[in-house]
A = this chain, B = another copy of it.
């Protein structure tokens, strides 16, 4: 053989061996998951049964204690880390001879909910359906006793997808490796956030205190759904977020709309005109400088963004919409820009409670999604400047008579989360050609025999920017749950097939 031929042979051999190893891991772990569905499910259901809204302190603590025990059972040095707010759960699993340490992140708190909207007794009494509820799937009674669940079955519960399933999958992956006499290749550090749905304040503020515990060579974030195509997915960045709440003030008390309509200004209409001035009919922000910090895409970036197999027609049909906002050429491009979203509106009453009044105030809650290039403070300043340019005076509390007497349009602006500052959560992004990015991509490709969908910046927010800034390590998200999981809404669910696959994915990443 020539030297070249030898080289090619070795490369091919290496590739075949790697594929085999990945293939072997996959087969072994799949077999393990299939044979242990009942116990994996039992641990999952037990965790889902503990209410986990961030403000519910006693139950948050119950979640943390249970998770600490679950890590301890797998040989982690596990502890509950106290923060200013909700506790974190931390586990450290040292692997003799490991060349590096990977920090795995997930969160155990869940979104607030309206129990009336759930089609089950409680979001914390998980039920199993034999498919998607919206498609008419039926409840499977007494499913806890099933040895294997039907394909397509889904667990309905708060945090089934967001974000308790990944925790269960990671632990099951470790169990699966162990059961086949293997162990992780890198040291495993796990950090479980107890306040992600309420800004991760504890995680972020604890960074200086627990810096040594978080130190690692790479961070893998287990949160969010896979791409809508259902393909294996990797995410290299997340948008940041800032929330704002505006209250516009009208007369000191609600007035009879007959006696004063056409003379006393209506604060709901003032708010409408203020918000209306912020966006055009194509959904593009009109706030000055809103998109200025985002550089144009390179041809390579445009190519990668276009390579994501989004199916806009299918998505639009699924969502029941027949037009889209026009911020980018496609969904992926749109997500590389900051967004401005009216998430809630309230003034006086509607429906049978409506009264013929000029309301005394009107309130809007707003979220601004940020990208890596858009600093929260600068974006908030732009919005506040815009508000002032519309003739509004911004005050920090409901106006007294003298403020009212001097200012024709008055608005309070708060952070929208009760806080006094507008800190916001920064965006982050790991380069897709970083060596770790390439390695993780390759592991995924070998495990699933297809290139993963690569998302440059996902639309949602995970509070990873301070970690990127502190440690400089690459941060890559490995979402595993089904796309149609009703995350953040009522009837959240997990397609169990995604759980079984997540166990394989995590086992492969633990083995790299």
Residues of A at the B interface (CB closer than 8 Å) are 111-112, 238-239, 241, 243, 245, 249-266, 268-269, 271-273, 275-276, 279, 281, 283, 317-325, 327-328, 331, 334-335, 337, 339-359, 362-365, 367, 369, 391, 399, 401, 404-409, 416, 418, 458-461, 486-489
Contact = CB atoms under 8 A, between A and B. Distances in A.
B404 A257 contact: no
19 contacts: A251-B319, A252-B319, A253-B489, A256-B488, A257-B367, A262-B325, A262-B334, A262-B337, A265-B325, A266-B283, A266-B341, A268-B342, A272-B276, A281-B391, A320-B399, A322-B406, A343-B348, A345-B346, A356-B461
A460 B119 CA distance: 45
* Chain copies in complex: 2
Contact of A369 (B261, B279, B351, B459): B261
B355 A261 contact: no
Contact of A351 (B245, B276, B340, B489): B245
Nearest to A484: B253
B269 A339 contact: no
A154 B100 CA distance: 81
A416 B416 CA distance: 30
A136 B296 CA distance: 62
Contacts of A461: 258, 356
Contacts of A331: 260, 263
Contact of A260 (B253, B353, B459): B459
B253 A321 contact: no
Q: When A and B form their complex, which 8 residue pairs have the shortest distance between CB atoms, in order from nearest? A: A258-B460, A276-B276, A261-B339, A252-B320, A323-B408, A262-B334, A320-B404, A345-B347
A454 to B, nearest CB: 16
A408 to B, nearest CB: 4
Nearest to A225: B259
Nearest to A162: B256
Contacts of A269: 275-276, 279, 283, 342
A355 B327 contact: no
Given A258-B460, A346-B345, A250 B321 contact: yes
B346 A263 contact: no
A322 B369 CA distance: 35
B263 A357 contact: no
A359 B353 CA distance: 21
Q: Which among A269, A362, A405, A407 has the highest number of chain B CB atoms within 10 Å?
A: A269
A378 to B, nearest CB: 19
A112 B318 CA distance: 41
Contacts of A459: 256, 258-262
B257 A356 contact: no
